[in-house]
Structure 1
């Protein structure tokens, strides 16, 4: 029986019901009569069921209290009294997403699963975590996840440790993150001026009592919004939520109401330092941001307009403000940031890799361009291009790695947080068709020009922030911290010292004491019989077109055609890989025979959802010595623009010109900006790639075309640009002549069958136009070597990677290794690197080709982490768990294999499987081995793991002082860019 507005279902009254076209869902809004909690359900046929619960959590300082609570509620609850319920779900469920997120003014707890029983199990654990956590009974949770003084013996040095504390030390090593924090400090006097994640300098100011007080104030049903999405039995879910949780509460009046702050700053100026290495140069390392507070996030029309204006003015290759600043050689890069996840959205024009004394000129160029564009108009093609980009992104929601259901839920709860009365409907955030139509009308009636004047040039709620480099600031901060710790300890009484030691002992005891079988049995668990025994097979059809192989994966894509043009690069010599990486950055971003690069940028954005170029290498599943290397051009377009998209690809591949010295310099400077961001925020990726480049030809290819060596070589070109420019042009032109021929080409395609026929017709002329070059073999062999390396960075934390290729040590890959990966990730490494070590995380990288790497993330340790890795063998040798625990590890392994794939991801996976001989038979063999694994199978991996560890090959990207303190560990110590 269908429910209607006004009906009450198990304590929930339906207050609204409507169909939302943009979400392809029936939307129903419920209000819990007793507590006024909101439930928003998007009903549709999606099998990937989503749940999210959000709370308004306004910070009052920089202690990160909301962030620490987000971590802590998953450390045991009344119904599930294990130490890490979140970890138990990771180990033993079929979830397709599992996380929690702290925003500047709210906290969310989303998950998803395609299995109905699994969904209800996780729902119970999540709700008990947020409403009945063990935090008030176990102070050690606060100490572990937040912070604590670390002192094991009386004569030890006092220090501070904690998961969030170390996570934020890593996060605030990024200049972009620091800049964003300074922007909000400059613009706001309310809650938005605080670092909701926590500033490591302020986190130790948070007391256990204040922590509990914050939780008790905000974690109440009256202050929550619950989101449900997909093909669910909503009545069963509502009954469960009411009977098990919300019925225990009454309405609470004291809930936060967010109101906009009205200010006239008249362009406030502030500046702040960030650290660079003592050996680094301060020149061209400054960031300058011009930031504006614009309307409220309740105004969807304005939000979409500013999002589009960000691309028009700054982010697109043809953006006039970006062009003007780069033309004057004032910076390395310019980008726009627009944050509408807060009540008062902030738009920033960010200029990076500049100098402090350029501030006045930069401001003049920005203001002059805004005046000119508002008065004289914007290029119509550029506006059309950026509207199309926004529209494509809105229609393709879920393609970025987070599913459609999850993304819609995040947007809805964000909107709910600001809907203080019945005049605002959280569902409005989903409706974009009307606003897209308005934007297209603005194209003809100067709407964007008027918006520039209103929201930017005449806006007085602005600030200009300068973030400048300071040599050795990290060491200075570390010295100050050490002195502070020394002074604190010297002022402690013997009784206080003993208290800290005892608290550490209590924490260590909790961490070292395993959950009892009785406690573990409280976690609901699927049975192995509930798991599909058959491997998921992504079908592929091989079609030959004029000596070119087309690999077609059929899928429903909503009228979008996804193409991946893969050109073999195996003939390239080692010394060409830097230029190959540079080619990936230049194709589609420089002029061609028929287009200036600005015009080309507009045509790409008008006719496609984007064209990207990357160099990739794939190891053969069966033969370790075989690697398949490609430069890949990925294109997506709606079927109505397929011919235009293919014509653009043809233009880029056959008619690109590289002799615009100014443009090439801009691209190279932008690559340097990318590399600097990666070093501070993605050190684990750099460490793993570098380590594997010592043992794998495929990873040498990746490392030299898109990792540290590539960045180093690009920096060398930049430093000697006048001498190297002409040589660089010629190398890039030579690559195009060598690579882009039909014999080199394999095409991946995903769409439906009708669209496939359209593609075959549209692409035949393109394929025919490619030259018939005969590829030559590479003249040289890549050199492999076992070298331990430490990379000196300005980061406050480490990324520690250790590993090897076990097939080179005469071991084989099988399904039990995948289960071992889950065991190590969710048990041994989690407990020793994260829980005890205080790192944000640790993971295992495993491939069928034999690569096995252990890597930590935002890790305060170095030697201790290496010691943890080196003791993995002992853990495996003694591994023994009961059948229930082994089932968890198997479930946790299967859920990774069975993750739902967006159509473009499915096509790429199917194509790579085909190329690397990852056959359906092999996939089935591995799945069967996973489902039948035993403790003995895991123990039998002792020799494999021990042999990998005994190679003692490791790479560390991390804090300069920490690496220097441990210099004896390394064959080489290298200073980053």
Structure 2
């Protein structure tokens, strides 16, 4: 439940919008002008270094926000563009971005993204990617498909591993094998086990898109894209539609790859502190010099602007039992033709201003009470940016009213601008993203990916990537002109209404069954026999040993456990106590101060914890003390770099045996503003004004977010419930962040709609009970300073007295049923099974989990079963296996039960890569302040540097016998949670202790 005030949320969204929105697979003011960014400046590299290896230096530019230098290179022979960012970051990043115009809706782009990393000429096999991801020292490996491009990113902290993984990624992009059976597994296939069996369809991408297309927000976005760009390929769904994916053939894939997957149509990104001369030599001699220039970076013709706005109405499938009234999504969208690098910082700031709760637009929409939630999205992947203002949970007949309010508010902003305080606060807040850029541990990938997106979409490498920094030069006049030019006077606009239709889900399911039956009926006897033979051959291939893949993965394993360094930089911790407040300071050199305030909430009842959590979520969104909501928003943006307010479990020791609920209030500030920032945060905490009309709006927004989380992250809820069912110490977490809190928000929404005073009275009572001096802890991270020494003295001074006995083991929450089913609306399912594990065997069970994920769950559940996701994890106190977007969750549970019987014929040399990969995950770098904060928390838990080293040594020295024993002790069939639709659960041959219908929560 990470929370930012409205400006903070908007700023965070904007950082992510351009990088990941709808990917499938997300200051001129004096207070900001002298801010410093993190890191140290790097060296200058001579252009002779580049030319020596066949590259031409096109330009170079300082990127202040990451203390780095960008070198834009062109490989002369192949025409490939290479973006190299040189700085002191040890988390080395690599990307390949390919421009991929979607020629149809058949999902060729998406299926190709899946297939490329499965098998390549240099690294052949059935499925190389997961083996590589799970047995090499990497901090991130993935690939993702956007509307008009595909990106292939990875990162690692080891330069030897970096080069080898780059070799694999280059081979995947430029020379995948694109085998028939891999296409059938990753894309789709018809299955006919016997001639008398019903014809069925399966495939990883096919099932993934069944889940993705069950999200009404994604559907609305897709309809908007189709409607704004009807005459260009942008209208096509690059991820694929379930009704058209079955028209795709492997020959279509091969043809598409041959056309677009060439160096001259791609951008290669390199980032971090590495030997660039050696790497460029490898890149030239091993790869790029083998290619000639072919097509330039693929461009997409612009959609001709409309002469007048349009409107589009579509139905969205929901079950017959659904209450669809007032559940529509309505969006007002614009194609922003002509946005260039000069306009981009203004556009980024405009998005943040409009998304702000205090903007004229959001105020007008909130006051209308038309919908539960409003938000703005922008996608750069459409080349002509797609800008949308969306209302969620709205009556479809209110579309014209919604459009009128939006247009009127935009005209007002174009004519009058916005309040100076709003403009300056949003601007300062957005710039804070540049100040704390290096807190993002994957900033290298984010910068490289956004540079490539900027080049492909608007021909500007830096406009998106450095917009947090470049926003300093934006003025109010720029904002007004942007609104006037690109929104008010822009007829290239569509009003989209996506309206849920009860019963349409069943109609579509029946239509698909009928299509499959008709298709089989149309097949000749020889065609049926051929499909039976093909199904058998494919299943045999799936289950066969992947010797080539094993050899390919082995080539990528360039390190041994002996290479691993278990030295850890010592933490610099200082503790003092004043007025019964425990203050821990963790030293780190940087431009800001991070402060965290913990309060023990163990005296609150389980229900009161939910009200406390809701109150903390609303802080910063309302007026406080003598300040109006707008003034709070302004002061937060000017004084606080980031604010996080939650109620969460605090584990008293590393083993997580005991926990208690805490209020967690964390914020960043510049040192010079530290005292003022704390005074502000203190006022917000103690004196937030619970205005009934605003409470209604904010709780409806919280409900919309909860609904969206359930739609997009259902597997998280399955894991949370399964973990709590098997481990008592995890029940508090599940209560605060799992299904119980989702249910509480649904209930609060209904209650506040009837009588907000009831909710307000409960929150005020909980606030009084919460803000007492029950074991207060202040943690600071920053340089040693007077500001750090005095941190916490303002905010703790107002605490009420506490005469009780502090409890550090909260047991008021009953452990949930061991076997629970949750009814949801999705056409695909989510499953998780869990069991408790002994903490002294954690390292062994974690390695066992890694092996099971790679060699058992992924092959059987994802590759054979067609689920989009399958894996396993350990979380100190429990082990869990899970699946996502799963067509057969009951089969998955059975596979979970049989895991202990898996025989991997482990040897020391086959275990070693898992040890290396796990070491990479355990030692992955954190942000400067985050690492300092973690050091302080470990100190509180008496988890020392020596303990950390000992656990790394445990991992490093784990034996085959120990891992085999752990696998034999896997018994994840006792506790499980499944989220599935009513039809799936009704036909399930699995028993449940409890079935909870979440579809009724929304009624």
Q: TM-score scaled to structure 1, two decimals?
A: 0.93
In 1: Cα distance, 2:468 partner to 2:866 partner: 47
Deviation at 1:270, TM superposition (A): 0.5
Identify the residue that residue 30 of structure 2 maps to in structure 1: none
Identify the residue that residue 152 of structure 1 maps to in structure 2: 193
In 2: Cα distance, 1:959 partner to 1:830 partner: 23
**1:177 aligns to 2:218 (yes or no):** yes
Which among 497, 511, 514 is matched to residue 480 of structure 1? 511
Which among 90, 96, 100 is matched to residue 53 of structure 1? 96
**1:814 aligns to 2:849 (yes or no):** no
**1:305 aligns to 2:334 (yes or no):** no
Identify the residue that residue 924 of structure 1 maps to in structure 2: 949
Deviation at 1:22, TM superposition (A): 4.1
Determine if contact 2:346/2:471 at 8 Å carries over to the other structure.
Answer: no
TM-superposition CA deviations, 1:665-691 (whole Å, max 9, x none)? 112111210121122111011112223
In 2: Cα distance, 1:124 partner to 1:582 partner: 49
Q: Relative to structure 1, is the Cα distance of residues 221 and 385 closer, same or farther in structure 2, using a 3 angstrom cutoff? A: same
- Which shifted more, 59-68 or 733-742? 733-742
Identify the residue that residue 103 of structure 1 maps to in structure 2: 146
Determine if contact 1:56/1:224 at 8 Å carries over to the other structure.
Answer: yes
CA RMSD of aligned residues (A): 2.4
TM-superposition CA deviations, 1:459-487 (whole Å, max 9, x none)? 11111111111123322221111111111
In 1: Cα distance, 2:258 partner to 2:433 partner: 39
Determine if contact 2:92/2:156 at 8 Å carries over to the other structure.
Answer: yes
Which among 698, 711, 723 is matched to residue 742 of structure 2? 711
Determine if contact 2:782/2:929 at 8 Å carries over to the other structure.
Answer: no
Determine if contact 1:565/1:745 at 8 Å carries over to the other structure.
Answer: yes
Q: Relative to structure 1, is the Cα distance of residues 968 and 844 closer, same or farther in structure 2, using a 3 angstrom cutoff? A: closer
**1:525 aligns to 2:558 (yes or no):** yes
Identify the residue that residue 959 of structure 2 maps to in structure 1: 934
Which among 273, 292, 304 is matched to residue 262 of structure 1? 304
Q: Relative to structure 1, is the Cα distance of residues 775 and 260 closer, same or farther in structure 2, using a 3 angstrom cutoff? A: farther
Determine if contact 2:600/2:660 at 8 Å carries over to the other structure.
Answer: yes
In 2: Cα distance, 1:353 partner to 1:973 partner: 26
**1:869 aligns to 2:896 (yes or no):** yes
Identify the residue that residue 618 of structure 2 maps to in structure 1: 586
Q: Relative to structure 1, is the Cα distance of residues 227 and 519 closer, same or farther in structure 2, using a 3 angstrom cutoff? A: closer
Deviation at 1:634, TM superposition (A): 2.0
Map of 1:827-866 to 2, 5 A cutoff?
827-848=855-876, 850-866=877-893
Determine if contact 1:834/1:840 at 8 Å carries over to the other structure.
Answer: yes
Deviation at 1:968, TM superposition (A): 5.3
Q: Relative to structure 1, is the Cα distance of residues 790 and 429 closer, same or farther in structure 2, using a 3 angstrom cutoff? A: closer
Q: Equivalent residue of 1:426, what SS?
A: coil
TM-superposition CA deviations, 1:197-224 (whole Å, max 9, x none)? 1111111111111111001111111212
Deviation at 1:396, TM superposition (A): 2.8
**1:84 aligns to 2:127 (yes or no):** yes
Deviation at 1:372, TM superposition (A): 2.6
In 2: Cα distance, 1:270 partner to 1:416 partner: 31
Deviation at 1:518, TM superposition (A): 5.0
Deviation at 1:269, TM superposition (A): 0.3
Which among 446, 471, 495 is matched to residue 436 of structure 1? 471
Which among 5, 9, 12 is matched to residue 55 of structure 2? 12
Q: Relative to structure 1, is the Cα distance of residues 32 and 622 closer, same or farther in structure 2, using a 3 angstrom cutoff? A: closer
**1:417 aligns to 2:456 (yes or no):** yes
Which among 393, 399, 403 is matched to residue 442 of structure 2? 403
In 1: Cα distance, 2:923 partner to 2:654 partner: 22
Which among 918, 927, 930 is matched to residue 902 of structure 1? 927
In 2: Cα distance, 1:228 partner to 1:177 partner: 32
TM-superposition CA deviations, 1:550-600 (whole Å, max 9, x none)? 23222233x122222222111111231321221122222222221122321
Deviation at 1:806, TM superposition (A): 3.4
Which consecutive residues of structure 2, in runs of 5 or more, have no partner in the other structure? 1-43
Deviation at 1:697, TM superposition (A): 4.9
TM-superposition CA deviations, 1:776-801 (whole Å, max 9, x none)? 67898322243422212111211101
Which among 305, 321, 324 is matched to residue 282 of structure 1? 324
Deviation at 1:741, TM superposition (A): 3.0
In 2: Cα distance, 1:603 partner to 1:549 partner: 28
Q: Equivalent residue of 2:834, what SS?
A: strand
Determine if contact 2:679/2:794 at 8 Å carries over to the other structure.
Answer: no
Map of 1:520-559 to 2, 5 A cutoff?
521-534=554-567, 538=571, 540-557=573-590, 559=591
Determine if contact 1:40/1:227 at 8 Å carries over to the other structure.
Answer: yes
In 2: Cα distance, 1:718 partner to 1:764 partner: 36
Deviation at 1:723, TM superposition (A): 5.7
**1:650 aligns to 2:682 (yes or no):** yes
In 2: Cα distance, 1:177 partner to 1:433 partner: 27
TM-superposition CA deviations, 1:301-332 (whole Å, max 9, x none)? 4222222222322x223122222222222111
- Which shifted more, 346-355 or 359-368? 359-368
Q: Relative to structure 1, is the Cα distance of residues 370 and 131 closer, same or farther in structure 2, using a 3 angstrom cutoff? A: closer
Deviation at 1:191, TM superposition (A): 2.1
Q: Equivalent residue of 1:941, what SS?
A: helix
Q: Relative to structure 1, is the Cα distance of residues 747 and 899 closer, same or farther in structure 2, using a 3 angstrom cutoff? A: same
In 2: Cα distance, 1:17 partner to 1:721 partner: 56
Q: Equivalent residue of 1:212, what SS?
A: helix
Identify the residue that residue 3 of structure 2 maps to in structure 1: none
- Which shifted more, 386-395 or 778-787? 778-787
TM-superposition CA deviations, 1:694-726 (whole Å, max 9, x none)? 344554333333332222233223323366533
Q: TM-score scaled to structure 2, two decimals?
A: 0.90
Identify the residue that residue 125 of structure 1 maps to in structure 2: 168
Q: Relative to structure 1, is the Cα distance of residues 196 and 912 closer, same or farther in structure 2, using a 3 angstrom cutoff? A: farther
Q: Equivalent residue of 1:264, what SS?
A: coil
Determine if contact 1:748/1:907 at 8 Å carries over to the other structure.
Answer: no
Map of 1:766-785 to 2, 5 A cutoff?
766-775=795-804, 781-785=812-816
Which among 405, 408, 416 is matched to residue 368 of structure 1? 408
Q: Relative to structure 1, is the Cα distance of residues 700 and 801 closer, same or farther in structure 2, using a 3 angstrom cutoff? A: same
Map of 1:670-689 to 2, 5 A cutoff?
670-689=701-720
Map of 1:708-747 to 2, 5 A cutoff?
708-721=739-752, 724-747=755-778
- Which shifted more, 337-346 or 912-921? 912-921
Identify the residue that residue 593 of structure 2 maps to in structure 1: 561
TM-superposition CA deviations, 1:90-121 (whole Å, max 9, x none)? 12221122111212111111111121111111
